[in-house]
Structure 1
Amino acid sequence: MFDAFRLRSPLPAALASSQSATVPEQPSPSKRRRSSCSAQHQAGAGSPQPAVPPAPRELPLEKLGDAPLRCIIVGHNPSNPTNRLWPILRETGIAPPDEIAGAQDDDKMPEVAGVGFTDVGSGYPGTDSSQFTSQDFEQWRPGFYSRLAKQAERASAAIPGCTCSSCGAPVMVAFSGKRQFQELFARPATKSRSAQAVSPPAPAPAAAIESAGCQMRLPILQERRPGRIDTGRQWVLPAGWPLPLHTEVWVLTSTSGAAPMTREQRIAPWQALAQRLAAEAWPRQCVARCSELQLAPGGAG
């Protein structure tokens, strides 16, 4: 998935030869499932089901670092050469064009720009998202949540007075494409509940805002998938979301060249994210605010 952004740049011959000699090519989860079913059919219904192999480890699992980040971008199957992620990041300024040339510099992004990267299903490369099922995403969800929570914990460790392990959580988490966000919800909402599911929460009363010392509108949590997900900031998050509700969640357009949209339609949500990022100083100067943080039930901290 997102890790495959790096695959757009060819590996040195020696390294490619070394990897091919030591790390066998792994099939996608869907192909493994089909192969397993075929083997069981041939062996008989009474044959034990083989264990599912772990994710291939030749790809790095994350580019998050240990500092409080401005944004974590959650990618999705971007190894196709027509993918536009890095040109968009440079054009919008999310990746400083004078310091970041492209995918080969993804290691620098957390330090240079305060922007990290991960996937929902880290370690599984692929160009066709349809090869991954909802069951695949369901299996990946706990690991994805754990990566987000652990990064927030690492980033909070150096903040004096923080006891909640969440004061260093990222300002934003941005999903590159809708599917990896919507698959975090348990199942689609029924029509009778769709309108209610996508209704954002009412703004807090002025007195409550003043007493909190800031203007803050928080999203709501629900198990069922909203009937519709638009690009931009999200006001409905999946139950079990592991970060503070102060962390903004954005859904952006897919950067895949195969996605049918104009250039303007593709880049506009990324430009909006870039404008929001520009309002956050880098490096961040975080202070302990444990009493103010509102966490999702079962989330970090």
Structure 2
Amino acid sequence: MHDHAPRGIRAGGPRRLLAISLALTATVLVVQVIGAVLTGSLALLADAGHMFTDSSALVVALIAASVAARPADDRQTYGYQRAEVFGALVNAVILIALCAVIAVEAVRRLVEPGWVEVQGLPMLVVAAIGLVANAVSLYLLSAAQRTSINVRGAYLEVLGDLVGSGVVLVAALVIWLTGWMPADAIASLAIAVLIVPRAVSLLREVIDVLGERAPRGTRVPDIRAHILGAHGVVDVHDVHVWQLTRGAPVFTAHVVVDADVFARDRAAALLSELQSCLSEHFDVAHSTFQLEPAGHLEHDAHA
């Protein structure tokens, strides 16, 4: 029997691996910004923006790993997970603005070629450093991402940046070997194209969370049907589904039940059945039900 468990540095816990990957990514981010200034490469600056995306994702992943164990208090009754959403909002706005600046500058360089001289060899060295750093981060996270959805998200971010670093490396090679400067602008546009959909998707997700919309993929009619299928349930109303942050859905509902449920003291069993149903079938760990006898009226009730 073979042991396929990760060994050495990859055997660390998720938080430790995420911290190491963040240190690598942040270091390369600084190197790329300095390299972009020294070489005049717009592609390096674009890739630095891509690395900024990864750094933010790793920070969010680390926060998620820490916040998950932090209890709620009397002021933050739901805990501190919503802080991730505000961080993601800032991240998305910065990325979209950065992509706009890069796109304008790239088009300008294509329209007016020759006014910026990009240093091919230093650009190649910095791009190679970024490629190696991303490869190392990918290797570190490869084992843990199979068992942690949190690490899986960070792994996919780093994988995307590995592609971006490869694009910059190819552009640097073209400039170094042929002197064809437009390769830098074309590479920067390609990286911006990689970043924009992720930034827009992130912004859309933030708007969904702050707007308290039901999580994507959650069908309220299906949940209502499951609840109505429970023995003793007559009706369900005031159904609300939202999420504190990604992967943290919350559910509340008023459930009308037969008088027999209270008469036979089955309320606790029914409540447990409904909560288990949402947890098992819809992955909703936090659900609140108000059980009401048939014929019960509320002054502020609304169907």
Question: Taking structure 1 as the reference length, what is the TM-score of the superposition?
Answer: 0.23
Bigger relative CO (Cα 8 Å, ≥ 6 apart): 1
Q: Which structure's residues are more often helix, by fraction?
A: 2
Bigger radius of gyration:
2
Alignment TM-score, normalising by the size of structure 2:
0.23
